[in-house]
Amino acid sequence: MARITAGIATSHVPAIGAAIDHGKTQEPYWKPVFDGYDWVKVWETQEKPDVVILCYNDHASALMLDVVPTFALGCAEEYAPADEGWGARPVPIVYGHVELAAHLAEQLVLDDFDLTLMNHMDVDHGLTVPLSLMFGQVDAWPVKVIPLAVNVTQFPTPSGNRCWMLGEAIAHAVESFPEDLNVQIWGTGGMSHQLQGPRAGLINPEFDNAFLDGLIDDTDDLRKITRLEYLRESGSEGIELIMWLIMRAALGKDVEQLQRFYHVPASNTAVGHIVLKPRASEKAAEAA
């Protein structure tokens, strides 16, 4: 059967994509950011995932204000990089896994999640920047991707607990897919940042690092963080961290931290990155 073997979370700062695309990764400002992803690039070449379920938010590239789904699942065969106003990023086409996506759609609806199914969707930096950070500049992405777009831009947004429940449902759905697939789930966006208003440029390292700590052993508290608390502590865009909770919930109760990285600043945000692996249950360990 298919299995979720790891979870990855990372910021998806658009300026990171621009730095990659324009050959600036080794400049003094950017080098510390990209050095933080050296480990995961090597690790991914060893893990060789077949599919990534990638939780991200669209930035008015494919989902405009006239259609604002809470959760939108990509079910297409391929996804083109979006033109976000300055041309599409020079990155490969993203190819989906149609069979697993259809299975997820059916199972999640049966589990009472009313998803919007996207049979055509361009994908913006929220999805392509994480792919670049994990795999580098390549002629073709070495993995198939199932996009899961989460509304974090327009009220009402889903709660952290609802996102957690979705992650649990995704895990159950993947486990019931009969094909032998190595599946990873990624949560992207964040960490603390605000792009407008009097608090533009807000960064809260204390909150960010407490959130990273909580992903290991204090997830109950993370599930209870309200929209107002995200706004107060991590800025207007810090709500993107709820997508990390989908990833974390899909890994089960106990996880092992393989890698962690935090850096301030990158553009006007804090960059966070963590790699987690589910701990094998005693029953599974005995069977092995």
Other C-beta atoms closer than 10 Å to the C-beta of 27 total: 11
Helix, strand, coil percentages for the chain (3-state, nearest 5): 35, 25, 40
Of the candidates 97, 125, 172, 263, the residue annotated as catalytic is 125
pLDDT in tens, 109-121: 999 999 999 999 9
Of the candidates 103, 193, 263, 273, the residue annotated as catalytic is 193
pLDDT at 17: 97
Residue 89 to residue 60: CA distance in whole angstroms: 16
Nearest CA among 271, 274, 243, 246 for reference residue 258? 274
- Residue 105's Cβ-side half-sphere holds a number of Cα atoms within 13 Å equal to 18
Q: Domain span at residue 43?
A: 3-287
Structure tokens belonging to residue 142? 């070495």
- Residue 212's Cβ-side half-sphere holds a number of Cα atoms within 13 Å equal to 26
Structure tokens belonging to residue 145? 């991707």
Residues 108 and 73 sit within 8 Å (Cβ to Cβ): yes
pLDDT at 287: 44
Nearest CA among 57, 141, 135, 144 for reference residue 100? 144
For residue 107, give Cα distances in angstroms to 244, 264, 275. 21, 40, 26
Q: Which residues of the chain have pLDDT under 50?
A: 282-283, 285-288
In DSSP terms, 275 is beta-bridged to 8, 259
pTM above 0.75, yes or no: yes
Residue 244 to residue 164: CA distance in whole angstroms: 9
pLDDT at 274: 98
CATH number at residue 234: 3.40.830.10
DSSP state of 261: E
pLDDT at 217: 86
pLDDT at 281: 53
Residue 87 to residue 134: CA distance in whole angstroms: 22
Total domain count for the chain? 1
193 is catalytic: yes
pLDDT at 282: 40
Taking the alpha carbons of 208, 73, 41, 138 in that order, is the dihedral positive or negative? Answer: negative
